[in-house]
């Protein structure tokens, strides 16, 4: 068992590097956390490019269930970024953010506090299963702390949530890599 976190910016080469870390293994489950949106051909093309790089023997599983990390063999999670976005969808956080910013700092309308609690619980489950997995897991995530502060509350909530999850995963990872311009740099 080992846990490897591969961080990087968009289009940095982090997914390709994560795949290289699992070269030669035939027991890989590719945990795809993003689904094709028929209304977004550009996104579908990106997902297809990822699929075409995978070895034929790898199994693809589309899921955001944290329990999927509790399997044996090897698991490639691509990506924690889209996983956190999906958790935000599933917990209703997007629906409770105020796009106009009219609420007091930190306050959300209606079901907002409960949505944040649901999100925190789902993120806790993700990190807990990461810690407990018997598998060799390589997880890919976007490093969000190098850009500008998002203009919207929803954007800031996403950035902050993903940044916190990345920190928690990195704290318990056996290896952490940062990929810049296709060049992997080992952080731990």
**Which of 25, 27, 35, 50 does the annotation list as catalytic?**
50
Q: Is 38 exposed, middle or buried (0-12, 13-18, 19+ CB in 10 A)?
A: exposed
Token look-up 């409960």 returns 114
Provide the pairing of β-strand 2-8 with 59-62. unpaired
- Tell me which residue of 140, 139, 159 sits closest to 149, measured CA to CA: 159
Please report how many Cα atoms fall inside a 13 Å half-sphere around the Cα of residue 146, on the Cβ side. Answer: 8
3-state secondary structure of 13: coil
Beta bridge partners of residue 4, listed in sequence order? 138, 175
| Total Cβ atoms within 10 A of residue 180 | 15
Note if 136 is an active site residue.
no
Please report how many Cα atoms fall inside a 13 Å half-sphere around the Cα of residue 71, on the Cβ side. Answer: 18
* Rounded distance between C-alpha atoms, residue 33 and residue 85, angstroms: 9
In this structure, what token pair is assigned to residue 146? 């190098």
Please list the active-site residues. Answer: 50
């Amino acid at each position: 068992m080992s846990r490897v976190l591969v961080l990087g910016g968009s289009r940095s080469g982090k997914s390709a590097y994560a795949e290289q870390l699992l070269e030669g293994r035939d027991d890989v489950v590719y945990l795809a956390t993003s689904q094709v949106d028929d209304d977004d051909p550009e996104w579908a093309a990106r997902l297809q490019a990822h699929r075409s790089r995978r070895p034929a023997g790898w199994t693809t599983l589309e899921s955001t269930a944290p329990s999927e990390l509790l399997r044996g063999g090897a698991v490639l999670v691509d990506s924690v970024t889209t996983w956190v976005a999906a958790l935000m969808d599933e917990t209703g956080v997007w629906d409770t953010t105020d796009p106009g910013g009219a609420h007091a700092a930190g306050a959300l309308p209606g079901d907002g506090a409960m949505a944040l609690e649901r999100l925190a619980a789902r993120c806790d489950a993700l990190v807990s299963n990461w810690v407990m997995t018997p598998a060799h897991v390589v997880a890919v995530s976007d490093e969000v702390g190098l850009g500008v502060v998002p203009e919207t509350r929803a954007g800031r909530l996403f950035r902050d949530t993903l940044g916190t999850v990345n920190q928690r995963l990195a704290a318990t990872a056996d290896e952490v890599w940062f990929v810049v311009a296709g060049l992997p740099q080992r952080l731990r």
